[in-house]
Structure 1
Amino acid sequence: MPISRPAILALSSLLLSSCQHAAPQSAYEQHEGRALAQAACGGCHMVEPYGLSANPQAPEWAVIANTPGLTRETLLTWLTEAHNYPDQMDFYLEQDEAELLADYMLTLRRDDYHPPY
């Protein structure tokens, strides 16, 4: 049974705690994180700053990155320990891969962000 976008966002909010910004990334690390995001996640999620996900049940990364309370630590926990539902998301990330993805995702934060829906 597919999970709805509002349910994913509500669940994400429950999992997240105090707001924190990502550690600064070098241009190379940001490029590597973006490339990994596109390859591993871009088939379902929009991993760029603007646009809608190919899978309507997969939240856009900008929506996730701008969720109040999201921290690098909660995002890393999600990517390494809880990222297995639905079955399509059940894959393993090495710690360095999870860090690249989390740090790239946090570059999508904007002070003037407004969700697309």
Structure 2
Amino acid sequence: MQLKSVLIAAGALILAACQHAGAESPVQTQAAADEGSEGLALAQAACAGCHSVEAYGLSPNPAAPEWPVIANTQGLTRETLTHWLTQAHNYPEQMDFYLEEDEVELLVDYMLTLQRDDYHPPY
């Protein structure tokens, strides 16, 4: 019976060692989560009055698109989103505020976490 337990444990260790080569380490995953949570906190404080800034939900202002809709817009990249957020003249009149460079980076990092390969717009 002990041999069977040892073989099962060894098999589990072997399977664990065969992780995908591109998989993120727990440290990388936690770092990404920390950056995303800072961006989410900023989004909740500065943007959630009008936009739904989380993965699910409707925007409080029906004219303000939900962030998953924005994040999953075809052709959106880190560069295009950063450019749009740094160019205040791009904002609709209702979005009368200025973002510092580090705030833009936090928001972009967070918004990109909302991208999904299997995303389907809610409407």
Scaled to the shorter chain, the TM-score interval is 0.7 to 0.9
Residue correspondence of structure 1 range 8-23 to structure 2 within 5 A:
none
TM norm structure 1: 0.75
In the other structure, the counterpart of 1:59 is: 65
TM norm structure 2: 0.71
Aligned counterpart in structure 2 of residue 69 of structure 1, from 75, 85, 104:
75
Amino acid at match of 1:96: D
Contact 2:42/2:107 (8 A) holds in 1: yes
SS class of match (2:87): helix
Residue correspondence of structure 1 range 75-114 to structure 2 within 5 A:
75-82=81-88, 84-114=90-120
Aligned alpha-carbon RMSD (Å): 1.6
Amino acid at match of 1:98: V
C-alpha distance in 2 between matches for 1:53 and 1:79: 19
C-alpha distance in 2 between matches for 1:83 and 1:31: 27
Deviation of 1:81 (Å): 0.5
SS class of match (2:38): helix
Contact 1:83/1:90 (8 A) holds in 2: no
Q: Unaligned 5+ residue runs, structure 2?
A: 1-28
C-alpha distance in 2 between matches for 1:75 and 1:30: 16
Aligned counterpart in structure 1 of residue 39 of structure 2, from 33, 56, 63:
33
C-alpha distance in 2 between matches for 1:102 and 1:56: 22
Q: Quick check: which has more Rg, 1 or 2?
A: 2
Contact 1:83/1:89 (8 A) holds in 2: no
Q: Unaligned 5+ residue runs, structure 1?
A: 1-23
The percentage of counterpart residues that share the same residue type is: 77
How many pairs align?
94
